[in-house]
Amino acid sequence: MVMFQEIVSGMMTILFYAAVALAAWKLFDIAKELGEIKAILLDIRRGAAPVSPADGPISLESAEALLREVAAESHARKNP
């Protein structure tokens, strides 16, 4: 019975340390995200608009040209 209690106690200790490590990692991740949001908000305040998609849909001709460029680049990579 004592051996079972030692095993369970060891497993609980490992789980506790893993939870603490996960919480610390998540806090650093949240801090990084908040830093990125802060940088974006500062850019907006300064008047430098963040990169956004084009206003409105693209034309069929520009879509076809883009598809041709991507296909040519892909073909060039496969056949040097």
30-to-1, 36, 41 alpha-carbon distances in Å: 43, 10, 16
pLDDT, average across residues 39-66: 73
In degrees rounded to 5, what are phi and psi of residue 51? -65, 125
Q: What is the pTM of this model?
A: 0.48
Among the ranges 4-8, 14-18, 60-64, which has the highest mean pLDDT value? 14-18
Q: How many domains does the chain have?
A: 1
Q: Alpha helices, DSSP H only, in the chain?
A: 2-46, 60-78
Give residues with Cβ within 8 angstroms of 44, minimum separation 6. Answer: 50
14 lies in which domain range? 2-78
Report d(CA 11, CA 36) in Å as an integer: 38
